[in-house]
């Protein structure tokens, strides 16, 4: 491919591109594992972005007003690692040599890891389409913050590379549709159109549509670059994308996967396997590199790639503007600093609503909505929304307005796009400055968001997932809408805190714990049906929620324990009264969160659930996992049915009578 660049030093630009190609290929070969095809093909694009186009400072990778870059096809990670190393990030050459090895900062797919960071990696990518939607969330965050605080402190782009595979995934279609609807003009994606997927040519599955017309229909600005090796054409297209402020931009960038590998380029064989010794030698010879030298970086290349001087100057200008901005208004300064730290303003606990038993029964979804109003006042940059279910889940910011193409409100109408919502909320959290963003829908549809929820846990993001209609008790909508296994599957995700409160006051306390104490993601599981407000004058205090489980009631000399969550806590208390009337004393434990309970020392856990007492668990879902805490279970082990809620609870045995029977059977 000929380079038509008009850069002052065409030869140095070409050498800089080819160095990234060789570094990437060497790293994959040394690991004997990886995906060399994308890095070989797209090195020109990475070079132009990192060396010439993006606003970034490798010496300050967390700078709040930097441009964001998302490599959605995370299998091409060596391209990103090579670009980060060459442009000056703290990613030494040894890390490239340790690609895919234990403890390295160059894992097989890029990972955003707060405990072991790879500087310059903005998100964890790998599951295709997730990165695409992350970038849309980042663009939402940028625009909201820019309109909230002003362009003098927030004004940057989100750039990304997306692949054929990304564009095949349904999540990308959802996110693209919403990005166009919202007019996210500071979002530019480059589509690596190479006509090859893992199994072979994309013509086997992906030539029945005109992608560019599809994106035009979504409301995107579209451009094309005939060959990725035309550096000037890339620069012009990226500049045009940046100049388009009313629409997101998709640039179709034609490439040859694996170029210039003479025998493997333009084949699926170069997608996911090392080149092999002879093919790697041939690549180096074609590019003018010594085939016997590995990880070579010619003189002048790091200086050409480096963004440190340019980025440091831009950051220094921004820091000066920020200092003036903060000095001008102390309240605004406090808000900015709290937003960047992701912390709640003081006084949240006292501001949260409380309920008394005489207030009557309250659905925890309704209580959650009222608690969220107080949280929003103390996390004033928190955004979130629902997948067309805000009126049902009640997870809205009252008086916060809507986030639209023309409004900068705090409630996002994601539409019926659960997949995109999950990944966009992650992108908002990754961007920073958006308090603790949230997404909400019915618990049943958490399945659509599972990959995004899992990634929020993998990245330890401060996100909140609010799910209502938490059991068969939602009633007549039937088994398609009634979650049975969902709580268990969410609890199975490492690092995810799942909270299922038993009444309105536990719901309020759950929001406090989530907002003030948790460092990672949380799931809040809420009821559709009204639940009685527990009388805390005779029962354990609601502050026990922070410990995951606490004793609600324990009189006399208990011979067994009943442990329950959510709406079933009321059944446990009713069963306790019936057992006591028959002369059997039991202890009732509310366990809103396994994860918070597991975080406590073993001695404290034993005080709440003594191993000496036989235990029955009560939850309107499958019992899987409860065997850790109980020897017998009241549960739902099959799909639900369509009928009124009270009929279903009776038919499925989620009753106080069933709890009494289990306790008696366990004691027999």
d(CA 419, CA 374): 28
Instruction: Name the token pair of 569.
Output: 């806590």
Dist CA 261 CA 277 (whole Å): 12
Q: Are 119 and 91 in contact (CB under 8 A)?
A: yes
**3-state DSSP assignment of residue 191:** strand
Q: Which position among 29, 111, 418, 595 bears the catalytic label?
A: 418
Residue whose token pair is 């179709």: 252
> Pairing state of beta strands 586-590 and 560-564?
parallel
Q: Which of 574, 609, 603 is nearest to 502 (CA)?
A: 574
Active site residue 506: no
Written as one string, the DSSP assignment of 335-395 is HHHHHHHT-PPTTHHHHS----GGG--EEHHHHHHHHHHHHHHHSTT--EEESS-HHHH--
Beta bridge partners of 68: 158
Give, in order, the Cα–Cα distances in Å from 349 to each of 354, 396, 513, 650: 10, 19, 9, 38
Question: By C-alpha distance, which of 302, 299, 238 is closest to 84?
Answer: 302
Residue 120 exposure: Cα atoms within 13 Å on the Cβ side:
27
Residues 6 or more apart whose CB falls under 8 angstroms from that of 254 comprise: 193, 194, 224, 225, 226, 227, 228
Residue 161 is encoded by which pair of tokens?
């590379």
**The two structure tokens encoding residue 635:** 């549960």
**Strands 438-442 and 464-468, how do they pair?**
parallel
Dig out the tokens for 44 from the structure.
């020109």
Alpha-carbon distance 589 to 282, whole Å? 68
**Are the C-beta atoms of 500 and 567 separated by less than 8 Å?**
no
Residues in the chain: 668
Please state, in angstroms and rounded to a whole number, the distance separating the CA atoms of residues 662 and 625.
18
Q: Which residues contact 304 (CB under 8 A, 6 or more apart)?
A: 9, 12, 13, 16, 51
Q: Which two tokens stand for residue 336?
A: 């900015």
CA 96/CA 117 separation, integer angstroms: 15
Burial class (CB in 10 A: 0-12, 13-18, 19+), 450: middle
Omega before 79 within 30 of 0, i.e. cis:
no
Query: How far is residue 434's CA from residue 335's CA, in Å, rounded to a whole number?
Result: 11
Q: Which residues are known to be catalytic?
A: 418
């Amino acid at each position: 491919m000929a380079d038509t660049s008009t850069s002052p030093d065409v030869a140095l630009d070409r050498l800089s591109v080819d160095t990234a190609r060789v570094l990437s290929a060497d790293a994959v070969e040394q690991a004997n594992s990886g995906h060399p095809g994308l890095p070989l093909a797209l090195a020109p694009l990475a070079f132009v972005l990192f060396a010439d186009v993006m606003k970034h400072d490798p010496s300050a990778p967390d700078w709040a007003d930097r441009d964001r870059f998302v490599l959605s096809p995370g299998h091409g990670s060596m391209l990103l690692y090579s670009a980060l190393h060459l442009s000056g990030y703290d990613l030494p050459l040894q890390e490239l040599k340790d690609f895919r090895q234990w403890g390295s900062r160059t894992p097989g797919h890029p990972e955003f890891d707060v405990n072991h960071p790879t500087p310059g990696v903005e998100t964890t990518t790998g599951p295709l389409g997730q990165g695409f939607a992350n970038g849309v969330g980042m663009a939402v965050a940028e625009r909201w913050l820019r309109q909230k605080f002003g362009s003098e402190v927030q004004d940057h782009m989100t750039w990304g590379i997306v692949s054929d595979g990304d564009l095949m995934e349904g999540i990308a279609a959802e996110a693209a549709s919403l990005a166009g609807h919202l007019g996210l003009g500071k979002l530019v994606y480059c589509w690596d159109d190479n006509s090859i997927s893992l199994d072979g040519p994309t013509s086997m599955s992906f030539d029945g549509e005109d992608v560019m017309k599809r994106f035009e229909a979504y409301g995107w600005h579209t451009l094309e670059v005939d060959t990725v090796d035309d550096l000037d054409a890339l620069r012009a297209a990226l500049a045009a994308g940046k100049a388009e402020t009313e629409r997101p931009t998709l640039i179709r960038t034609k490439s040859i996967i694996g170029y210039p590998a003479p025998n493997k380029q333009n084949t699926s064989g170069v997608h996911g396997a090392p080149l092999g010794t002879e093919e790697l030698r041939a690549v180096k010879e074609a590019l003018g590199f010594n085939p016997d030298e590995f990880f070579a970086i010619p003189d002048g290349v790091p200086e050409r790639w480096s963004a440190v001087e340019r980025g440091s100057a831009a950051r220094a200008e921004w820091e000066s503007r920020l200092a003036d901005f903060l000095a001008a208004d102390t309240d605004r300064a406090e808000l900015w600093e709290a937003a960047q730290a992701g912390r709640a303003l003081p006084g949240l606990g006292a501001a949260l609503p409380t309920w008394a038993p005489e207030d009557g029964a309250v659905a925890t979804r309704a209580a959650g909505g009222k608690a969220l109003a107080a949280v929003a006042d103390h996390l004033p940059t928190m955004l979130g929304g629902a997948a067309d279910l805000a009126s049902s889940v009640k997870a809205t910011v009252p008086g916060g307005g809507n986030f639209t193409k023309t409004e900068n409100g705090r409630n996002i109408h994601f539409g019926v796009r659960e997949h995109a919502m999950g990944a966009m909320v992650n992108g908002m959290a990754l961007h920073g400055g958006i308090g603790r963003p949230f997404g909400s829908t019915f618990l049943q549809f958490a399945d659509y968001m599972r990959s995004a929820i899992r990634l929020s846990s993998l990245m330890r993001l401060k996100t909140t997932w609010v799910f209502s209609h938490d059991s068969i008790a939602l009633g007549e909508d039937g088994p398609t809408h009634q979650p049975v296994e969902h709580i268990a599957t969410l609890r199975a995700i490492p690092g995810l805190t799942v909270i299922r409160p038993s009444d309105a006051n536990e719901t309020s306390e759950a929001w406090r714990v989530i907002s003030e104490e948790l460092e990672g993601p949380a799931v809040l599981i809420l009821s559709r049906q009204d639940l009685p407000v527990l009388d805390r004058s005779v029962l354990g205090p609601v502050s026990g929620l922070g410990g995951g489980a606490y004793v609600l009631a324990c009189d006399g000399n208990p011979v067994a324990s009943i442990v329950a969550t959510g709406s079933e806590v009321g059944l446990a208390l009713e069963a306790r009264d019936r057992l006591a009337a028959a002369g059997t004393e039991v202890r009732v434990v509310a366990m809103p969160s396994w994860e918070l309970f597991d975080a406590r020392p073993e001695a404290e856990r034993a005080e709440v659930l003594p191993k000496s007492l036989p235990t029955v668990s009560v939850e309107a879902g499958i019992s899987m996992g409860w065997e850790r805490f109980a020897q017998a279970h009241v549960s739902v082990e099959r799909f639900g049915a369509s009928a009124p809620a009270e009929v279903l609870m009776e038919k499925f045995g989620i009753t106080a009578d069933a709890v009494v029977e289990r306790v008696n059977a366990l004691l027999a």
